[in-house]
Amino acid sequence: MAPAYHTSAIHAIVRMVNWDRTEWDHIKLNDTEIESLTFRQLQQEFKLLGVTERALRPYSCTSAVLPRSFDEYLAS
């Protein structure tokens, strides 16, 4: 995010979330770096509104090297 728009974007997100809080149970901010300055500032702004927040670590995508054939797989 361009630094010039950082604070404006955070305030816009918080205003949107606060706009009609009675109509939703939760929001999900996917692909958000929970260690980032932006996310920490969002958390602070939400806390000022009295919004309860919970940050979950993203799912990790594991991988495996597959054998060349099904028979090799069965043998492993």
- What does pTM read for this prediction? 0.59
**Count of the separate structural domains present in the chain:** 1
**Rounded mean pLDDT, 64-71:** 85
Domain extent for 58: 1-76
Tell me the mean pLDDT in the region 48-65. Answer: 74
Average pLDDT, the chain: 81
Which are the contacts of 41, defined by CB distance < 8 A and separation ≥ 6?
10
Q: If you count DSSP H runs as helices and E runs as strands, how many of each does the chain have, helices first?
A: 3, 0
Per-residue pLDDT at 63 exceeds 60: yes
Higher pLDDT, residue 60 or 64: 64
